[in-house]
Structure 1
Amino acid sequence: MALAIRDVREHDLDAVLALNNTAGRSILALDAERLRYFYDCADYFRVAEIDGQLAGFLIALREGSDYASSNYRWFATHYPSFVYIDRIVIANAYRRHGLGRVFYCDVTSFAEVRVPLLTCEVFLEPRDDVVLLFHGTYGFQEVGQQRMPAAGPLVSLLAKELPSFAYVRETYLDHGGLPAEPWLAERQRPAHSGPSVGETHS
Protein backbone atom coordinates (compact mmCIF):
# COMPACT_ATOMS: atom_id res chain seq x y z
CA MET A 1 0.00 0.00 0.00
CA ALA A 2 1.53 3.30 -1.14
CA LEU A 3 0.45 6.36 0.89
CA ALA A 4 1.16 9.95 -0.13
CA ILE A 5 0.16 13.13 1.71
CA ARG A 6 0.34 16.13 -0.63
CA ASP A 7 -1.14 19.57 -1.25
CA VAL A 8 -4.51 19.50 -2.96
CA ARG A 9 -4.59 20.17 -6.69
CA GLU A 10 -7.39 21.77 -8.62
CA HIS A 11 -8.29 18.53 -10.37
CA ASP A 12 -8.88 16.93 -6.95
CA LEU A 13 -11.72 19.26 -6.01
CA ASP A 14 -14.62 17.27 -7.44
CA ALA A 15 -13.45 14.16 -5.60
CA VAL A 16 -12.90 16.15 -2.39
CA LEU A 17 -16.41 17.59 -2.62
CA ALA A 18 -17.96 14.15 -3.16
CA LEU A 19 -15.98 12.68 -0.27
CA ASN A 20 -17.00 15.50 2.06
CA ASN A 21 -20.68 15.25 1.22
CA THR A 22 -20.89 11.49 1.72
CA ALA A 23 -19.01 11.53 5.04
CA GLY A 24 -22.08 11.45 7.27
CA ARG A 25 -23.74 13.70 9.81
CA SER A 26 -20.57 14.64 11.68
CA ILE A 27 -19.29 16.62 8.66
CA LEU A 28 -21.24 19.63 7.43
CA ALA A 29 -21.91 19.66 3.71
CA LEU A 30 -19.92 21.81 1.32
CA ASP A 31 -20.88 23.32 -1.99
CA ALA A 32 -18.49 24.09 -4.83
CA GLU A 33 -18.21 27.78 -3.89
CA ARG A 34 -17.20 27.05 -0.32
CA LEU A 35 -14.72 24.40 -1.41
CA ARG A 36 -13.22 26.90 -3.85
CA TYR A 37 -12.79 29.33 -0.97
CA PHE A 38 -10.71 26.76 0.87
CA TYR A 39 -8.72 25.99 -2.28
CA ASP A 40 -7.97 29.67 -2.70
CA CYS A 41 -7.43 30.66 0.93
CA ALA A 42 -6.61 27.75 3.24
CA ASP A 43 -3.08 27.74 4.62
CA TYR A 44 -3.12 23.94 4.81
CA PHE A 45 -5.17 21.82 2.41
CA ARG A 46 -3.72 18.39 1.85
CA VAL A 47 -5.08 15.12 0.55
CA ALA A 48 -4.10 11.52 1.20
CA GLU A 49 -3.68 9.20 -1.74
CA ILE A 50 -3.48 5.44 -1.27
CA ASP A 51 -2.45 3.54 -4.37
CA GLY A 52 -3.55 6.55 -6.42
CA GLN A 53 -7.02 6.80 -4.85
CA LEU A 54 -8.20 9.79 -2.80
CA ALA A 55 -8.45 8.47 0.75
CA GLY A 56 -9.03 11.66 2.74
CA PHE A 57 -8.22 15.32 3.24
CA LEU A 58 -7.61 17.89 5.95
CA ILE A 59 -8.17 21.66 5.75
CA ALA A 60 -6.71 24.18 8.20
CA LEU A 61 -6.39 27.96 8.37
CA ARG A 62 -4.19 30.33 10.33
CA GLU A 63 -5.26 33.43 12.21
CA GLY A 64 -6.03 36.52 10.14
CA SER A 65 -8.39 34.84 7.67
CA ASP A 66 -11.75 36.33 6.67
CA TYR A 67 -13.35 32.94 7.26
CA ALA A 68 -16.80 33.47 8.78
CA SER A 69 -17.12 30.21 10.75
CA SER A 70 -18.32 30.93 14.29
CA ASN A 71 -15.87 28.36 15.63
CA TYR A 72 -12.92 29.89 13.79
CA ARG A 73 -14.04 33.32 15.01
CA TRP A 74 -14.13 32.06 18.60
CA PHE A 75 -10.47 31.16 18.40
CA ALA A 76 -9.67 34.43 16.62
CA THR A 77 -11.13 36.42 19.53
CA HIS A 78 -9.28 34.39 22.17
CA TYR A 79 -5.83 33.73 20.66
CA PRO A 80 -3.53 35.94 18.56
CA SER A 81 -1.78 33.11 16.70
CA PHE A 82 -3.00 29.60 15.87
CA VAL A 83 -3.71 27.02 13.20
CA TYR A 84 -7.37 25.98 13.11
CA ILE A 85 -8.35 22.56 11.75
CA ASP A 86 -11.61 23.17 9.94
CA ARG A 87 -12.30 19.61 8.88
CA ILE A 88 -10.78 16.20 8.34
CA VAL A 89 -12.54 13.59 6.24
CA ILE A 90 -11.45 10.00 5.71
CA ALA A 91 -13.10 7.78 3.09
CA ASN A 92 -15.10 4.91 4.58
CA ALA A 93 -12.80 2.29 3.09
CA TYR A 94 -9.79 3.76 4.92
CA ARG A 95 -11.25 4.51 8.35
CA ARG A 96 -9.87 2.87 11.49
CA HIS A 97 -6.48 2.39 9.80
CA GLY A 98 -4.63 5.28 11.45
CA LEU A 99 -4.94 7.75 8.58
CA GLY A 100 -6.42 10.39 10.90
CA ARG A 101 -3.31 10.22 13.09
CA VAL A 102 -1.10 10.51 10.00
CA PHE A 103 -2.94 13.70 9.03
CA TYR A 104 -2.74 15.09 12.57
CA CYS A 105 1.01 14.40 12.67
CA ASP A 106 1.39 16.19 9.35
CA VAL A 107 -0.68 19.26 10.30
CA THR A 108 1.15 19.42 13.65
CA SER A 109 4.45 19.46 11.78
CA PHE A 110 3.09 22.30 9.64
CA ALA A 111 1.78 24.25 12.63
CA GLU A 112 4.59 23.91 15.14
CA VAL A 113 7.06 25.90 13.03
CA ARG A 114 4.56 28.74 12.59
CA VAL A 115 2.31 29.12 15.65
CA PRO A 116 2.13 28.15 19.34
CA LEU A 117 -1.32 26.55 19.18
CA LEU A 118 -3.23 23.98 17.13
CA THR A 119 -7.02 24.26 17.47
CA CYS A 120 -10.22 22.56 16.37
CA GLU A 121 -13.62 21.61 17.71
CA VAL A 122 -15.67 18.46 18.01
CA PHE A 123 -19.40 18.00 18.16
CA LEU A 124 -20.93 17.20 21.53
CA GLU A 125 -24.33 16.68 19.89
CA PRO A 126 -24.34 13.91 18.92
CA ARG A 127 -21.48 12.90 21.21
CA ASP A 128 -18.84 10.68 19.64
CA ASP A 129 -16.56 9.18 22.26
CA VAL A 130 -14.15 7.82 19.65
CA VAL A 131 -13.57 11.36 18.34
CA LEU A 132 -13.26 12.79 21.85
CA LEU A 133 -10.79 10.10 22.88
CA PHE A 134 -8.77 10.59 19.69
CA HIS A 135 -8.29 14.28 20.42
CA GLY A 136 -7.69 13.78 24.11
CA THR A 137 -4.95 11.23 23.52
CA TYR A 138 -3.40 13.52 20.94
CA GLY A 139 -2.92 16.28 23.52
CA PHE A 140 -5.92 18.53 22.95
CA GLN A 141 -7.61 20.21 25.91
CA GLU A 142 -11.05 21.79 26.03
CA VAL A 143 -10.79 25.59 26.21
CA GLY A 144 -14.47 26.42 25.74
CA GLN A 145 -17.86 25.38 24.44
CA GLN A 146 -20.41 27.11 22.26
CA ARG A 147 -23.51 26.37 20.26
CA MET A 148 -23.26 26.88 16.51
CA PRO A 149 -25.65 29.38 14.88
CA ALA A 150 -29.25 28.66 13.93
CA ALA A 151 -29.70 26.36 16.95
CA GLY A 152 -26.87 24.19 15.70
CA PRO A 153 -25.03 21.56 17.72
CA LEU A 154 -23.06 22.22 20.88
CA VAL A 155 -19.32 21.96 20.22
CA SER A 156 -16.27 21.53 22.40
CA LEU A 157 -13.50 23.98 21.44
CA LEU A 158 -10.10 22.31 21.71
CA ALA A 159 -6.52 23.55 21.71
CA LYS A 160 -3.15 21.83 21.78
CA GLU A 161 -0.03 23.73 22.83
CA LEU A 162 2.95 23.29 20.52
CA PRO A 163 6.05 23.50 22.72
CA SER A 164 8.45 23.29 19.77
CA PHE A 165 7.29 26.69 18.54
CA ALA A 166 9.25 28.65 21.17
CA TYR A 167 12.51 27.13 19.93
CA VAL A 168 11.60 27.71 16.28
CA ARG A 169 10.63 31.33 16.95
CA GLU A 170 13.75 32.15 18.96
CA THR A 171 16.13 30.31 16.63
CA TYR A 172 14.66 31.02 13.21
CA LEU A 173 11.56 33.20 12.97
CA ASP A 174 13.16 36.06 14.92
CA HIS A 175 16.34 35.77 12.87
CA GLY A 176 15.45 35.78 9.20
CA GLY A 177 12.88 33.02 8.92
CA LEU A 178 12.75 29.28 8.33
CA PRO A 179 15.34 27.47 6.21
CA ALA A 180 14.49 27.09 2.54
CA GLU A 181 13.51 23.43 2.76
CA PRO A 182 10.60 21.95 0.78
CA TRP A 183 8.90 20.51 3.88
CA LEU A 184 8.88 23.97 5.49
CA ALA A 185 7.47 25.80 2.47
CA GLU A 186 4.10 27.55 2.48
CA ARG A 187 1.32 26.10 0.39
CA GLN A 188 1.28 27.57 -3.11
CA ARG A 189 -2.21 29.04 -3.36
CA PRO A 190 -3.84 30.55 -6.45
CA ALA A 191 -3.09 34.23 -6.98
CA HIS A 192 -6.77 35.20 -6.56
CA SER A 193 -8.73 34.62 -3.39
CA GLY A 194 -12.39 33.93 -2.81
CA PRO A 195 -14.95 35.83 -0.74
CA SER A 196 -15.64 35.18 2.90
CA VAL A 197 -17.96 32.25 3.48
CA GLY A 198 -20.16 31.16 6.33
CA GLU A 199 -20.42 28.05 8.47
CA THR A 200 -18.80 25.05 6.83
CA HIS A 201 -17.08 23.22 9.64
CA SER A 202 -17.12 19.63 10.63
Structure 2
Amino acid sequence: MKKIILRDATPEDFEHILALNDAEVQQTSAMDFQKLRLLASLSAYHKVALVDDKIAAFLLAMRENTTYESENYRWFAARFPHFIYVDRIVVSAEFAGLKIGSLLYSDLFDFARAHQVAMVTCEYNIQPPNPASKSFHDKFGFKEIDTQWVANGSKQVSLQVAEVN
Protein backbone atom coordinates (compact mmCIF):
# COMPACT_ATOMS: atom_id res chain seq x y z
CA MET A 1 0.00 0.00 0.00
CA LYS A 2 1.29 3.42 -0.95
CA LYS A 3 2.03 5.95 1.78
CA ILE A 4 -0.02 9.15 1.44
CA ILE A 5 1.14 12.32 3.15
CA LEU A 6 -1.02 15.43 3.54
CA ARG A 7 0.71 18.76 4.05
CA ASP A 8 0.07 22.46 3.58
CA ALA A 9 0.52 23.63 0.00
CA THR A 10 3.42 25.97 -0.72
CA PRO A 11 4.15 28.25 -3.69
CA GLU A 12 6.66 25.63 -4.86
CA ASP A 13 3.67 23.29 -5.40
CA PHE A 14 1.73 25.71 -7.62
CA GLU A 15 3.04 24.37 -10.94
CA HIS A 16 1.85 20.86 -10.02
CA ILE A 17 -1.46 22.17 -8.65
CA LEU A 18 -2.11 24.02 -11.90
CA ALA A 19 -1.36 20.89 -13.94
CA LEU A 20 -3.80 18.86 -11.81
CA ASN A 21 -6.46 21.55 -12.16
CA ASP A 22 -5.94 21.76 -15.94
CA ALA A 23 -6.49 18.01 -16.24
CA GLU A 24 -9.92 18.38 -14.57
CA VAL A 25 -10.84 21.88 -15.75
CA GLN A 26 -14.20 20.70 -17.11
CA GLN A 27 -15.26 19.73 -13.58
CA THR A 28 -13.61 22.67 -11.80
CA SER A 29 -12.82 25.93 -13.56
CA ALA A 30 -9.81 27.45 -15.26
CA MET A 31 -7.03 28.70 -13.05
CA ASP A 32 -3.74 30.35 -13.91
CA PHE A 33 -0.80 31.16 -11.63
CA GLN A 34 -2.19 34.59 -10.70
CA LYS A 35 -5.60 33.17 -9.76
CA LEU A 36 -4.01 30.34 -7.77
CA ARG A 37 -1.87 32.83 -5.88
CA LEU A 38 -5.01 34.85 -5.06
CA LEU A 39 -7.00 31.77 -4.00
CA ALA A 40 -4.14 30.55 -1.85
CA SER A 41 -3.98 33.94 -0.12
CA LEU A 42 -7.74 33.80 0.59
CA SER A 43 -7.77 30.18 1.70
CA ALA A 44 -8.10 28.91 5.24
CA TYR A 45 -7.23 25.39 4.12
CA HIS A 46 -4.94 24.56 1.21
CA LYS A 47 -3.32 21.15 1.29
CA VAL A 48 -1.70 18.75 -1.10
CA ALA A 49 -1.56 14.97 -0.91
CA LEU A 50 1.74 13.34 -1.76
CA VAL A 51 2.19 9.77 -2.95
CA ASP A 52 5.83 8.71 -3.20
CA ASP A 53 6.82 12.40 -3.00
CA LYS A 54 4.63 13.25 -6.01
CA ILE A 55 1.70 15.67 -5.68
CA ALA A 56 -1.35 13.51 -6.31
CA ALA A 57 -4.14 15.87 -5.20
CA PHE A 58 -5.01 19.19 -3.65
CA LEU A 59 -7.90 20.78 -1.77
CA LEU A 60 -8.45 24.52 -1.49
CA ALA A 61 -11.11 25.97 0.84
CA MET A 62 -12.08 29.38 2.21
CA ARG A 63 -13.81 30.58 5.36
CA GLU A 64 -16.57 33.14 5.44
CA ASN A 65 -15.78 36.86 5.17
CA THR A 66 -13.21 36.71 2.39
CA THR A 67 -13.21 38.88 -0.70
CA TYR A 68 -13.53 35.87 -3.01
CA GLU A 69 -15.56 36.82 -6.08
CA SER A 70 -16.89 33.34 -6.96
CA GLU A 71 -20.64 33.40 -7.53
CA ASN A 72 -20.96 30.08 -5.70
CA TYR A 73 -18.95 31.31 -2.72
CA ARG A 74 -21.03 34.52 -2.64
CA TRP A 75 -24.23 32.43 -2.67
CA PHE A 76 -23.16 30.69 0.56
CA ALA A 77 -21.80 33.91 2.09
CA ALA A 78 -25.18 35.60 1.61
CA ARG A 79 -26.93 32.82 3.56
CA PHE A 80 -24.57 31.52 6.24
CA PRO A 81 -22.56 33.48 8.82
CA HIS A 82 -19.98 30.70 9.44
CA PHE A 83 -18.78 28.03 7.03
CA ILE A 84 -15.83 26.67 5.15
CA TYR A 85 -16.28 26.56 1.38
CA VAL A 86 -14.53 23.94 -0.76
CA ASP A 87 -13.50 25.85 -3.85
CA ARG A 88 -11.91 22.83 -5.47
CA ILE A 89 -10.58 19.38 -4.82
CA VAL A 90 -8.69 17.57 -7.55
CA VAL A 91 -7.17 14.09 -7.46
CA SER A 92 -4.91 12.96 -10.29
CA ALA A 93 -6.39 10.12 -12.35
CA GLU A 94 -3.03 8.40 -11.91
CA PHE A 95 -3.84 7.94 -8.21
CA ALA A 96 -7.53 7.08 -8.48
CA GLY A 97 -8.71 4.41 -6.08
CA LEU A 98 -6.33 5.30 -3.25
CA LYS A 99 -9.08 7.23 -1.39
CA ILE A 100 -6.99 10.40 -1.42
CA GLY A 101 -10.08 12.59 -1.83
CA SER A 102 -11.60 10.97 1.25
CA LEU A 103 -8.39 11.57 3.24
CA LEU A 104 -8.41 15.23 2.26
CA TYR A 105 -12.09 15.63 3.15
CA SER A 106 -11.64 13.85 6.49
CA ASP A 107 -8.75 16.20 7.23
CA LEU A 108 -10.84 19.22 6.19
CA PHE A 109 -13.66 18.14 8.52
CA ASP A 110 -11.10 17.76 11.33
CA PHE A 111 -9.87 21.29 10.52
CA ALA A 112 -13.46 22.58 10.67
CA ARG A 113 -14.05 20.92 14.05
CA ALA A 114 -10.79 22.32 15.43
CA HIS A 115 -11.86 25.82 14.32
CA GLN A 116 -15.45 25.39 15.54
CA VAL A 117 -16.91 25.66 12.04
CA ALA A 118 -20.23 23.84 11.96
CA MET A 119 -20.66 23.45 8.21
CA VAL A 120 -18.70 22.63 5.08
CA THR A 121 -20.14 23.93 1.82
CA CYS A 122 -19.40 23.15 -1.81
CA GLU A 123 -20.96 22.77 -5.20
CA TYR A 124 -20.58 20.32 -8.03
CA ASN A 125 -21.85 20.19 -11.58
CA ILE A 126 -25.21 18.62 -12.29
CA GLN A 127 -25.31 19.97 -15.87
CA PRO A 128 -23.14 18.60 -17.31
CA PRO A 129 -23.60 15.73 -14.84
CA ASN A 130 -20.82 14.71 -12.47
CA PRO A 131 -22.10 11.49 -10.85
CA ALA A 132 -18.70 10.68 -9.32
CA SER A 133 -18.72 13.95 -7.39
CA LYS A 134 -22.31 13.38 -6.26
CA SER A 135 -21.46 9.92 -4.95
CA PHE A 136 -18.31 11.20 -3.23
CA HIS A 137 -20.11 14.07 -1.48
CA ASP A 138 -23.05 11.87 -0.45
CA LYS A 139 -20.58 9.74 1.56
CA PHE A 140 -19.68 12.81 3.62
CA GLY A 141 -23.28 13.72 4.38
CA PHE A 142 -23.61 16.63 1.95
CA LYS A 143 -27.18 17.65 1.13
CA GLU A 144 -28.39 19.80 -1.72
CA ILE A 145 -29.98 23.03 -0.56
CA ASP A 146 -30.37 24.70 -3.95
CA THR A 147 -29.08 24.82 -7.51
CA GLN A 148 -27.92 27.63 -9.76
CA TRP A 149 -26.73 28.20 -13.30
CA VAL A 150 -23.19 29.58 -13.60
CA ALA A 151 -20.54 30.26 -16.25
CA ASN A 152 -22.93 32.29 -18.40
CA GLY A 153 -25.56 29.57 -18.22
CA SER A 154 -23.26 26.78 -19.44
CA LYS A 155 -23.20 24.85 -16.13
CA GLN A 156 -25.74 24.09 -13.44
CA VAL A 157 -24.39 23.34 -9.98
CA SER A 158 -25.82 21.66 -6.93
CA LEU A 159 -25.18 23.82 -3.86
CA GLN A 160 -24.31 21.47 -1.00
CA VAL A 161 -23.93 21.67 2.78
CA ALA A 162 -22.61 19.11 5.26
CA GLU A 163 -22.81 19.54 9.00
CA VAL A 164 -19.60 19.02 10.92
CA ASN A 165 -20.23 16.68 13.85
Q: TM-score interval w.r.t. the shorter chain? A: over 0.9
TM-score by length of 1: 0.78
Question: Which residue does the alignment assign to 1:128?
Answer: 130
When you count strand as a share of all residues, which structure comes out higher? Answer: 2
Q: Which amino acid aligns with 1:123?
A: N
| Deviation by residue 1:77-133 (Cα, 9 ceiling, x = unmatched) | 010000000000111111122111111101111112221110000100111222112
Quote the Cα distance in structure 1 between the aligned partners of 2:88 and 2:163: 19
Residue 29 of structure 1 deviates from its aligned partner by: 1.4
SS in 1 for 2:82: coil
Contact 1:61 1:86 in 2 (8 A): yes
Contact 1:7 1:45 in 2 (8 A): yes
Q: Which structure 1 residue ranges, 5 or more long, are not aligned?
A: 164-202
> Identity, % of aligned pairs?
34
For the pair 1:46 / 2:47, whether they are aligned, the reply is yes
Question: Which residue does the alignment assign to 2:30?
Answer: 29
What aligned pairs does 1:81-160 form with structure 2 within 5 A after superposition?
Answer: 81-114=82-115, 115-160=117-162
Quote the Cα distance in structure 1 between the aligned partners of 2:45 and 2:139: 23
| Deviation by residue 1:123-151 (Cα, 9 ceiling, x = unmatched) | 00111222112111210011111111412
Quote the Cα distance in structure 2 between the aligned partners of 1:17 and 1:37: 13
| RMSD value, Cα | 1.1
Quote the Cα distance in structure 1 between the aligned partners of 2:62 and 2:32: 18
Quote the Cα distance in structure 1 between the aligned partners of 2:163 and 2:43: 21
Larger Rg: 1
Structure 1 segments, 4+ long, off by >3 Å, are: none
Aligned length: 163
Greater RCO (Cα-Cα under 8 Å, separation 6 or more): 1
Q: Which amino acid aligns with 2:148?
A: Q
Q: Which structure 2 residue ranges, 5 or more long, are not aligned?
A: none
Q: Which amino acid aligns with 1:86?
A: D
Residue 24 of structure 1 deviates from its aligned partner by: 4.5
Quote the Cα distance in structure 2 between the aligned partners of 1:22 and 1:145: 25
